[in-house]
Every structure is written in C-alpha cells, then in structure tokens.
Amino acid sequence: MQTLQKEMQDAVWAAHSLFERGKTSGSTANISFRFDGKVYISRTGSCFATLTEQDFAVVEDRGGKPEVISEAKPSKELPLHWMLYQKDPSVNAVIHTHSFYSVLWSCLKHENPDDIVPHYTPYLEMKVGKVKLVGYGKPGSEELFRKFGERVGIGGAYLLKNHGPVVGGRNMMDAFFKIEELEESMKVAWFLRNEPKESLCMIPEEG
C-alpha cells in the first residue's frame, strides 16, 4: 500500500533521475502526484536537481478548482496538472519536462495533431498511447491552459507546441516510465524524419 512518504520519495527520485540524465535543466520542469484527495506539486522556481520533500506545494479541490493550502507556492503550470487529474480519474501523477528531442519534435509541423509521433517501435503504443499536439501558448499563460483544456482527454500524452511534453500516469513510476519512453520515441522519430517513407518499416496496426 502506497503512503504519502513513499509517493514523495518516488517523486523526488524521478526528478533527480531526469535531471541527472539531461532530460531537463534549470527550473524548467514540474512534477506532481495525487494522494488522499490532495495534489502535491513542485513549488515555483524549484529545480529537479535539488528537489526535496519540502519543495512541494499542497493543493485541495474546492468545487472543482484548486486551492493552495501550503506556504509553498505551486508551479505556475499547476493548471496543466489539475486538468489532467480532473479529466482522467486513472491519473495519479503528472510530469512535465523540456526534454531535448521532445522539444525539437514540438517545433515541427504535424499533419495529424491527434497522433504526432510515428510508431517505429511497439513501446510507444504499449506504454504511452497516442501523443496529441497542443497549440502554442506562452508558458504559464491562460492561452496555454485554454488550449490544453481543449485537447485533454483520457489516456495518451501531450506535447505542448514549441515547449515540451506533459505525461500522466497511474502512479509516479508509471508517469516516469511513460515520459522516458516518449523521449526515446521522439529521438528515434527525429533521426528518421528525413528518411523517405518507402524505406521505413512501421509497426503494423492491429485488426
């Protein structure tokens, strides 16, 4: 059975691991989890490299709206996390980074905004699902939150245009594995982006 202490430990470990391996830098990422009716999210200005259990703000649901009940101030991108929790009851952890290949991929034009990453390996579909593109809005802006709200649904992951990925999971480790797989799939897609389609082998669709 998960405890608040274990959830915190998993979140801190995930943050440190992502930073140490260059999946984010500075104070550009945020991480959260839901436990016992509350959302715990990394505070504004925090860095994944030095994140501790004291670096989490606590948020309660007040009629469907978030209310901060801690002294720590949450990340300005709390609404992205909150909308995922509100929309998908299976989501209990959210990670948002500016990982290198995901950001590169978010700067390209994509024909199908509901499925923007080619399925070159089976693991993206198995672990993450389809990746949806969210239109550009300045980080922390109402425009970004509005556009994310228009795209958010059940399952899958999201790539904020010219910004980075947002991934939800059943728990913290599930969200961590998903954002890892997403970044690796983006890396593969980036290196194959200029290859002629006839030379590429895609995973066959089932059915």
Q: Which tens digits make up the pLDDT trace of 33-87?
A: 999 999 999 999 999 999 999 999 999 999 989 999 999 999 999 999 999 999 9
Structural domain contains residue 101: yes
Expressed as residue numbers, the domain containing 187 is: 4-196
**Is residue 109 within 8 Å of 135, Cβ to Cβ?**
no
pLDDT value at 207 more than 80: no
What CATH number does the domain containing 72 carry? 3.40.225.10
Largest CA distance in the chain: 57
pLDDT value at 206 more than 70: no
Q: Give residue-wise pLDDT tens across range 119-172.
A: 899 999 999 999 999 999 999 999 999 999 999 999 889 999 999 999 999 999
Structural domain contains residue 46: yes
| Catalytic-residue membership of 77 | yes
Q: Which of the following is catalytic: 120, 123, 136, 184? A: 123
Structural domain contains residue 90: yes
**Is residue 31 within 8 Å of 14, Cβ to Cβ?**
yes
Phi/psi of residue 2, nearest 5 degrees: -70, 145
Q: How many domains does the chain have?
A: 1
pTM recorded for the entire structure: 0.94
Q: Which of the following is catalytic: 77, 180, 181, 183? A: 77
| Catalytic-residue membership of 158 | no
Structural domain contains residue 206: no
